[in-house]
Amino acid sequence: MSESEQTTTGAATNNSPGSTVATYTVSGMTCGHCVNAVSTEIGTLPGVTGVDVDLPSGAVTVTSATPLAKGDVAAAVDEAGYELVGPENDAGPGR
Ligand SMILES: [Cu+2]
């Protein structure tokens, strides 16, 4: 019985198994304060473990323990005072 060497690759990312990463697009953010407001609001959603915002593109990458309902993310973004505009493959009824 020889134990095979476990080469844990040096990536120090703390990704727990079963975590979900989803990217959304938020419009209206213009500065670090906006980024902070959006991250904070999304961070209050249950299961969210990380929020990463790219200000120039408005891309918001959310890491969570379980998949989030887009409506919940949209509500959080709205709460922060901005608008969730993507992903556009949202088959909801038009406004
Ligand atoms: Cu701002």
DSSP assignment of the chain equals: -PPPP----S------TT-EEEEEEEE---SHHHHHHHHHHHHTSTTEEEEEEETTTTEEEEEESSPPPHHHHHHHHHHHT-EEEE-S---PPP-
CA of residue 14 to ligand 1 center, whole Å:
29
What is the predicted pLDDT for the residue at 4? Answer: 56
How much of the chain exceeds pLDDT 90, in percent?
Answer: 71
List the domain boundaries for the chain: 20-89
More confident call, 5 vs 11: 5
Residues 8-32 have pLDDT tens digits of 444 445 555 679 999 999 999 999 9
CA of residue 17 to ligand 1 center, whole Å:
34
**Averaged over 38-45, what is the pLDDT?**
98
Domain 20-89 has CATH 3.30.70.100: yes
What is the predicted pLDDT for the residue at 59? Answer: 97
What is the predicted pLDDT for the residue at 31? Answer: 97
Residue 88 has pLDDT above 80, yes or no: no
Q: Which residues surround ligand 1, an ion (CB under 5 A)?
A: 30-31, 33-34
CA of residue 35 to ligand 1 center, whole Å:
7
CA of residue 32 to ligand 1 center, whole Å:
6
**Averaged over 66-86, what is the pLDDT?**
96
